[in-house]
């Protein structure tokens, strides 16, 4: 654990040395929030749209932006830099556990995501958004969003370890967009067409989005628990695959 924390602190310092890399992580999700609300906000007025539970349409859209912000996976890009510069080989040669090599960067990604998620929520408050589940719900929002950040960063790290290519790793972040648009992004699942509903049902991101949305609009324990179960299951798989990739790395 100490090794993982030390490597995590190093990864956080990498981010602090290039703070400009965080700008897209904030600006792009905010751009999508503003555009989506601007296009569809009048179609779904808070006073007559039941699924909004009295809040603005921005509250319904915020989870999409939170997930997008958590899906940049910059930890994997720093990993590629270590691979290309030869530092990763030095870490592998040192008496460091293979699990620590993986978990360290994922720990840093979780810390970064907690901060970014909190900032995004605070910036979004003027859009008429409130976290209906209160302070505890706000904390669960941070945990759920950061858990997804760790999961997706683990996926991108897997690409980095297999390809050792910055271009291939960077393109991994684009794979999130099909996943995002195959969710109940603009309306609840019950209002989707049948083919789209089937696709959303088999898409794991749907359950994480619905968990985040439930915490904002009014917590449903079953929906929130399902979101956590999905993200924790996927996260465990990613950590296992990453550790195996490091152990078999040649």
pLDDT per residue over 19-78, tens digit each?
Answer: 777 788 888 999 999 999 998 888 999 888 889 998 999 999 999 999 998 888 677 777
Cα 174 versus chain centre, distance: 13
Average pLDDT over residues 97-114: 83
CA pair distance 133, 28, nearest whole angstrom: 26
Looking at residue 90, its pLDDT comes to 76
Average pLDDT over residues 106-112: 87
CA pair distance 157, 161, nearest whole angstrom: 6
State the total domains in the chain.
Answer: 1
CA neighbor of 71 nearest in space, from 187, 237, 231, 215 = 231
Looking at residue 170, its pLDDT comes to 79
Supply the range of the domain harboring residue 34: 2-247
Query: Does residue 41 contact residue 8 with C-beta atoms inside 8 Å?
Result: no
In order of 30, 126, 148, 208, 214, the CA distances from 123 in angstroms are 9, 7, 21, 21, 19
User: DSSP secondary-structure letter at 72?
Assistant: -
**pLDDT tens, position by position, 156-196:** 888 888 888 878 887 777 888 888 889 999 999 999 999 99
pLDDT band of residue 18 (cuts 50, 70, 90) is: confident
Query: Does residue 84 contact residue 153 with C-beta atoms inside 8 Å?
Result: no
């Amino acid at each position: 654990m100490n090794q993982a924390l030390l490597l995590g602190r190093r990864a956080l310092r990498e981010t602090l040395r290039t703070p400009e890399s965080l700008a897209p992580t904030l600006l792009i999700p905010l751009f999508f929030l503003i555009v989506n609300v601007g296009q569809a906000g009048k179609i779904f007025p808070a006073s007559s749209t039941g699924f909004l539970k009295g809040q603005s349409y921005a509250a319904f859209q915020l989870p999409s932006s939170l997930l997008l912000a958590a899906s940049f996976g910059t930890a994997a890009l720093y990993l590629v830099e270590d691979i290309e510069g030869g530092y990763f080989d030095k870490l592998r040669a040192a008496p460091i556990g293979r699990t620590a090599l993986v978990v360290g960067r994922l720990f840093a990604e979780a810390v970064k995501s907690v901060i970014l998620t909190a900032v995004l929520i605070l910036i979004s408050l003027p859009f008429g958004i409130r976290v209906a589940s209160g302070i505890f719900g706000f904390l669960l929002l941070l945990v759920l969003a950061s858990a997804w950040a760790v999961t997706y960063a683990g996926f991108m790290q897997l690409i980095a370890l297999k390809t050792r290519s910055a271009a291939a790793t960077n393109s991994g972040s684009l794979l999130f967009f099909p996943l995002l648009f195959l969710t109940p992004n603009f309306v609840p699942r019950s209002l989707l067409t049948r083919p789209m509903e089937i696709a959303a049902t088999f898409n794991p991101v749907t359950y994480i989005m619905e968990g985040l949305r439930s915490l904002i609009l009014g917590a449903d324990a079953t929906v929130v628990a399902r979101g956590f179960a999905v993200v924790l299951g996927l996260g465990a798989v990613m950590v296992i695959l990453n550790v195996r990739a490091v152990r078999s790395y040649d």
